[in-house]
Amino acid sequence: MAAGATYEPIATTTLSGASTWTFSSIPGTYTDLIAIVVVTSTTGNSFHWRFNGDTGNSYSYTVLEGNGSAASSARSSSDTNINIYSGVGTANPSMFRTHIMSYAGSTNKTVLSEAANDKNGSGIVNRLVGLWRNTSAITSITGTTFAGTLTGTATLYGIKAA
Amino acid sequence: MSRYSPRARLTNSSTTSTVANWFGNQFVDVPPLSSYESIATATGTGSSTTISFSSIPSGFKHLQIRGIGRSDGVSTSLTKLLLRFNSDSGTNYSWHYLLGDGGTASALGGASATSIELREGLIRASMLANTMSAYLVDILDAFSSSKNKTVRAFTGIEENDTNTASRITITSGLWMNTNAITSIDLVSFSGNLSTSTTFALYGIKEA
């Protein structure tokens, strides 16, 4: 059995009216990464992830969501980012957790993401799978809003395997 | 590296900072960090359909499997990954799932099955190269000697619409057996698990 902690915080940042933030110089010593974002938005718009500063058409994603009355699914191919695909609360915080699997491995990078955005009568719950078609190790992660700014916290965790 | 050393540099649009001590900042749904332990990691051989965790220690409350997988089966359609416990291949399992394929959401279930099925949950060799299925599987109260065992899984395949096979799935499963779990088999329904397949087993302690 592995000794010591296997689920470790790597970095956290307080977002105060931020439209973009970056975790950089991520060490390659973990197996998976988990980004947790708890925020409110000035406009209610979604945000997206990019890796290693890549702004090319290297991303795709598929989402499954429920909006309180129906379940649906949508997707995007050859996109310039992985859209977290949920609005963000303007009054109450929304929560997003993104698992970046085998981020330092030699395959394309798959992420699993969860969104919880409840607005007392409306809102979204979703699950999302995303792909970055690149076999390089992820060393930086950038979150960017589609509009407006975010206030709250963003934390990056690392998980080690035996 | 000290746990209290900064490990990554943080920037945002309004500030650029390096955070040195953030251990007091815990979020919901994150286990206490010392209670989450790595138990074992297993990789595919390319010559077997199965990856197994055996002799699982019982000093935990819950188990979690995290991993990526790919079948070497030659097909442009998805296959499924099966879960079995304690080498039980009897009809003692059930499962149901909610699935999104990028166009519609659908649901399906199975009863008195011989495994918990992660349907449309394993990418195959003829599909987008270097691309893996991803898995988060929680096995709750895994060591109880009085309860059947409940599983939840969050799985995904994203292949940039190359074979119209991207899937996002949440699955609930049941093993109708009250024995403590001592071994877990992850089985490709079709084709061997590739050498790029990796599963890691974690244990979560209770107070």
Q: How does residue A162 score in pLDDT terms, banded at 50, 70 and 90? A: confident
pLDDT in tens, A53-101: 999 999 999 999 999 999 999 999 999 999 999 999 999 999 999 999 9
Interface of B with A in 71-90 (CB under 8 A): none
pLDDT in tens, B142-171: 999 999 999 999 999 999 999 999 999 999
The number of residues making up chain B comes to: 207
Flag whether A31 is in a domain. yes
Burial class (CB in 10 A: 0-12, 13-18, 19+), A106: exposed
Query: Given this model, what pLDDT does residue B32 score?
Result: 56
- Pairs across A and B, CB distance < 8 A: 220
Percent of chain A with pLDDT over 70: 97
The domain that holds A17 is classified in CATH as: 2.60.120
With CB atoms and an 8 Å threshold, state whether B30 touches A7: yes
Residues A124-150, mean pLDDT to the nearest whole number: 98
Of B8, B102, B167, the CB nearest to A25: B8
Instruction: Measure the CA–CA gap between B179 and B127, rounded to whole angstroms.
Output: 39
Please give the C-alpha separations between residue B171 and each of B10, B100, B107, B108, B164, in angstroms, as whole numbers.
35, 12, 10, 10, 21
Please name the residue of chain B whose CA is at the shortest distance from the CA of residue A139.
B8
With CB atoms and an 8 Å threshold, state whether A102 touches B157: no
Flag whether A1 is in a domain. no
pLDDT of A4 over the 60 cut: no
Parent domain of A90: 9-159
List the helix and strand counts (H, then E) for chain A: 0, 12
Query: Given this model, what pLDDT does residue B34 score?
Result: 72
Tell me the domain boundaries of chain B.
36-204
Of A64, A155, A161, the CB nearest to B105: A64
Query: Given this model, what pLDDT does residue B207 score?
Result: 85
Instruction: Measure the CA–CA gap between B75 and B77, rounded to whole angstroms.
Output: 5
d(CA A1, nearest CA chain B) in Å:
5
Please name the residue of chain A whose CA is at the shortest distance from the CA of residue B3.
A8
Q: Which of B173, B53, B63 is nearest to B113 (CA)?
A: B173
What average pLDDT does chain B have? 88
Flag whether A2 is in a domain. no
d(CA A57, nearest CA chain B) in Å:
11
In CATH, which of 2.60.120, 2.40.160, 1.10.3470, 3.30.300 is domain B36-204?
A: 2.60.120
Flag whether A106 is in a domain. yes
Of A6, A15, A38, the CB nearest to B27: A38
Of A26, A72, A102, the CB nearest to B198: A102
d(CA B67, nearest CA chain A) in Å:
7
Flag whether A3 is in a domain. no
Burial class (CB in 10 A: 0-12, 13-18, 19+), A41: buried
Which chain A residues touch B34 with a CB distance below 8 Å?
5
Domain count, chain A: 1
Q: Is B168 on the interface with A (CB under 8 A)?
A: yes
Beta-carbon contacts of residue A152 (< 8 Å; ≥ 6 apart)? A14, A15, A37, A38, A39, A40, A93
Residue B68 DSSP one-character state: E
Which chain B residues touch A61 with a CB distance below 8 Å?
158
3-state secondary structure of B180: coil
Of A11, A36, A60, the CB nearest to B158: A60
Of B158, B168, B196, the CB nearest to A127: B168
pLDDT in tens, B3-34: 223 345 455 543 332 232 233 333 334 555 67
Tokens standing for B161?
């619409």
With CB atoms and an 8 Å threshold, state whether A155 touches B3: no
Query: Given this model, what pLDDT does residue B30 score?
Result: 53
Q: What is the 3-state secondary structure (H, E, C) of A3-62?
A: CCCCEEEEEEEEEEEECEEEEECCCCCCCEEEEEEEEEECCCCCEEEEECCCCCCCEEEE
ipTM of the complex: 0.95
Residues A36-60, mean pLDDT to the nearest whole number: 98
Flag whether A71 is in a domain. yes
pLDDT in tens, B59-93: 999 999 999 999 999 999 999 999 999 999 999 99
Residues B27-54, mean pLDDT to the nearest whole number: 84
Beta-carbon contacts of residue B207 (< 8 Å; ≥ 6 apart)? none
Flag whether A148 is in a domain. yes
Which chain B residues touch A68 with a CB distance below 8 Å?
none
Which chain B residues touch A16 with a CB distance below 8 Å?
14-15
Q: Is B125 on the interface with A (CB under 8 A)?
A: no
pLDDT of A3 over the 80 cut: no
pLDDT in tens, B98-133: 999 999 999 999 999 999 999 999 999 999 999 999
Residue B207, Cβ neighbours under 10 Å: how many? 5
pLDDT of A34 over the 70 cut: yes
